[in-house]
Amino acid sequence: MVDYELLKKVVEAPGVSGYEFLGIRDVVIEEIKDYVDEVKVDRLGNVIAHKKGDGPKVMIAAHMDQIGLMVTHIEKNGFLRVAPIGGVDPKTLIAQRFKVWVDKGKYIYGVGGSIPPHIQKPEDRKKFPDWDQIFIDIGAESKEEAEEMGVRIGTVITWDGRLERLGKHRFVSIAFDDRIAIYILIETARQLQDTKADVYFVATVQEEVGLRGARTSAFGIKPDYGFAIDVTIAADVPGTPEHKQVTQLGKGTAIKIMDRSVICHPTIVRWLEELAKKYEIPYQLEILLGGGTDAGAIHLTREGVPTGALSVPARYIHSNAEVVDERDVDASVKLMVKALENIHELKI
C-alpha cells in the first residue's frame, strides 16, 4: 500500500515550473539516493538518478513541477497581480488560500480575490473571472509593505494544499499532477531488485510549460527505451458520458495509447498489456484527446526513442484538490517494476 509519509513529503514540497529548487528537488534526491548508484542535477535542474546495468538503456520520467502563479505587478494598495505558470484556470483561484514563496523554505499566506458578485453588474455575475479580475491579497496595505514582506516581481505562488485521506482507498491533495508520479518513480527505484537494464530515473523540470526538462535530459541520456509516468483525466463523475470518462478511479494503472503529444509505440503498449495480464496487475487503456506528457518529448529525441507511458487516473486535475486512488498507484508501481525486470524481452 501507499507510503503515506513519503507521499506527504512529495506532494507538499513546493516547486512550480522553473522553481523546482524551492523544495521538491531536494526531497527527490534525499528519497531516491539510496536505491541508485549515482544522482546528479543537470544544468536545467532535472534530477537524474542512475541505476547501472549492462542491458538496454531505459529512461523513466516523471515531472517535478506543479502549476502555479507568478507575481507580475504590485498594486499601490498592496494587492498582487499574477499570471499563470502552466494551465491554471482562473475560476479555481477565487476565495482560495495560497502560499507566496518569498524565499526557499519561506512563504507568506495569500487569498485569491476578485470583485464581489454583490456589486457586479447582473450580466457580469454569469461570467467566469479572467486574469484581469484576479488578484492575491496578502494583507499588505501598500506596495512598500508588500515589498517589506519579501514580495517582488517574479515571486512564485502555490495553492495552500495538503494531503488528506478521502474515503477508504483515495487521497485528495495539491499537486498530484505530477507528484503522484514522482512517488511512483521513487517507489519503483525502491522495489526494483533484479533487472538487466541500465536505468535512468529522471525527475524532470518544466513539463507544465512545454515538456522542457524531458527534452534536454533525454537528449543527454540517449535512451534505448523511454517511459513517462503522469496523471490522466478520470472524468468518472456525474454528468460525464461513459465514452468521455477517459479512465476511472480504482480500475488500475492506465496504459497510454495516445494523447496530444505522443502516439505510444504499439509494441510497447501491447507488451505492457501482456505484463499486466501475466502478473495480474489491474489496468485500463488510455486515449487522451487533450494534454500531453514527457513521453511527447522523449520519443522525438535525436533519431527517435520507442516510448510508452503509464498514467494514474485523477479527478479535478489542475486544482488544489486533486483525487487519486491508492490501488491505481500501487498498480502503476507494480507494472513499472515488472517492465524493468522484463525489459530484456522487449524487441523493437
Measured CA to CA, the distance from residue 258 to residue 289 in angstroms comes to 8
Q: Which of 98, 95, 131 is nearest to 116 (CA)?
A: 95
Contact 97, 116 (CB under 8 A): no
C-alpha cell, 84: 499563470
Catalytic residue set: 207
Q: Which residues fall within 8 angstroms of residue 219, CB to CB, at 6 or more apart?
A: 301, 302
Measured CA to CA, the distance from residue 4 to residue 255 in angstroms comes to 24
